[in-house]
Amino acid sequence: MTTVAELADDPHAALAAVRPVGWLDALGGWVVSGRELAVRVMRDPETFTVDDPRFSTAQVVGPSMLSLDGTAHVAHRAPFEKAFGLAETRARFTEPVAQTVASLVEEIAADGAADLRRTLAGPLSVAVVAYSLGLPPASASTVLGWYEAISDSVTGVAAGRQVTAAGAEAFARLHAHVAGGIETSDSLVAEAAGAGLGVDEVVANAAVLMFGGIETTEGMITNCLWHLLTHRDQLELVLADPTLLANALEESLRLEPAAAVVDRYATRDVELAGCPVRRGDLVTVSLAGAGRDPEVFPDPDRYDVRRANARRHLAWASGPHICLGMHLARLEALTALRAALALPGLRLDPSSPPPRGLVFRKPAAVKVRWDVEQAPPPQV
């Protein structure tokens, strides 16, 4: 019998065994791991809803666009949508992201070694998401501390445990921080409040955007670095042809989406690929499983930066809950990856761990080394 620990460590064999859908006792529900069926479930919120008291994120941060459907979902999401459209993202964020990445890489360039999760991916994602929402200043380490406590609590709830005291305390601190941002007249959170959302509703939505943005960006960068640095042949292809980097990122998202699953709850009795799903059943859509569906992706476990259909992954989900910040996350990830791969002789430290996690999958660290170029001797 598959355990929660095994799913967190390496879920892919178990997901293949139940594809396109099957019951997993470890999760107490159905798991959808076929791509076609995953799209069907995510695009049918009337039958498969997020609006259920068991929804893990809502238990930690309260109701938000992530945990509501129908008109309530639209009311919570609409005040934030325009700011994250493709054209708006490129116009507003290209230069600040480039400047932030350049500053972060400059700080470590002379060291020859670093954990790129802690020194690049994490600080970048915190800085950009805070900037995007118009939040008051806070150190990256402070926000990452809140984020880790809250995401650990969400993961625990998804595994059947209670909201942790640390998660509750972190959210209380985040609540105070976001509420302070509402007082800034030109901030996105202030605009959301002006659009009719209450303070608690603004905070809940800012929290899912903030931590979704951190998780998505940090996970994208760290997972792609891990894939490239553990597949040297693919890295050499990208270094020889930098235009492959965008597809290398999509292929990494296919194999290891940063958010590996999304939960839904059946609102009526329904059949999925011959399986009798009952009203109230948990239906977990495995975005990781859908990305390795062999009917869509030949040789699905292979990392191939030239895979023609890599962008058919479902790392951003689908339907009304498709990721709001996907354009910004892509911009951040590609900018950071280009800068990291420019470090001469970049290589993975053997002690660096692989991606893992039940809900959020990424390496705990990306420990790397590179060659520090020696300054030329002074002219005499």
Look at residues 225, 6, 232, 259 and name the one whose alpha carbon lies nearest to residue 116: 225
Q: What is the CATH number of domain 4-369?
A: 1.10.630.10
Model confidence at 50: pLDDT above 80: yes
The predicted structure's pLDDT at residue 367: 98
Mean local confidence (pLDDT), 174-179: 86
pLDDT at 144: 79
Q: Where are the domains of the chain?
A: 4-369
pLDDT at position 148: 83
The number of C-alpha atoms within 13 Å of 223 and in the hemisphere containing its C-beta is: 28
Tokens of 255: 């194999």
Residue 61's pLDDT is 85
pLDDT, average across residues 171-186? 82
Q: Are 55 and 67 in contact, with CB atoms under 8 Å apart?
A: yes
The better pLDDT of the pair 159, 245 is held by 245
pLDDT band of 184, cuts 50, 70, 90:
low
Phi-psi category of residue 357: left, alpha or beta, with phi > 0 → left and psi -120 to 50 → alpha: left
57 Cβ neighbours under 8 A, 6+ residues apart: 64, 66, 67, 154, 208
Count of other CB atoms within 10 angstroms of residue 247: 17
Higher model confidence: residue 314 or residue 213?
Answer: 314
**Tens digits of residue pLDDT in 238-287:** 999 999 999 999 999 999 999 999 999 999 999 999 999 999 999 999 99
Look over the chain and give the mean of its residue pLDDT values, rounded to a whole number: 93
Judged by DSSP in three states, 282 sits in: strand
The pLDDT of residue 379 is 44
C-alpha distances in Å from residue 240, one per residue of 11, 244, 249: 33, 9, 16
Q: Select from 341, 300, 245, 376 the least CA-distant residue to 33.
A: 300
* Helix (H) or strand (E) segment spanning residue 146: helix 140-158
Q: Are 228 and 238 in contact (CB under 8 A)?
A: yes
d(CA 88, CA 261): 28
pLDDT (tens digit per residue) in 100-147:
999 999 999 999 999 999 999 999 999 999 889 888 777 778 887 887
Report percent pLDDT > 70 for the chain: 98
Q: Which residue has the higher pLDDT, 19 or 210?
A: 19
- pLDDT for 102 equals 98
Contact present, 60 and 304 (Cβ < 8 Å): no
Q: 158 pLDDT exceeds 80?
A: no
List b or e across 332-371, with b for residues whose CB sees 16 or more CB atoms inside 10 angstroms.
bbbbbbebbbebeebebeeebeebbbbbbbbbebbbbbbe
Confidence at residue 378, expressed as pLDDT on a 0 to 100 scale: 43
Residue 375: what pLDDT? Answer: 42
pLDDT (mean) for 87-105:
97
Question: Per residue in 320-367, pLDDT tens?
Answer: 999 999 999 999 999 999 999 999 999 999 999 999 999 889 999 999
Please, which pLDDT band fits residue 380 given cuts at 50, 70 and 90?
A: very low
- Evaluate if residue 298 carries a pLDDT over 90: yes
Q: What confidence tier does 374 reach under pLDDT thresholds 50, 70, 90?
A: low
In this predicted structure, the answer to whether residue 187 has a pLDDT above a threshold of 90 is: no
* pLDDT, mean of residues 67-83: 95
Whether pLDDT at 179 is above 60: yes
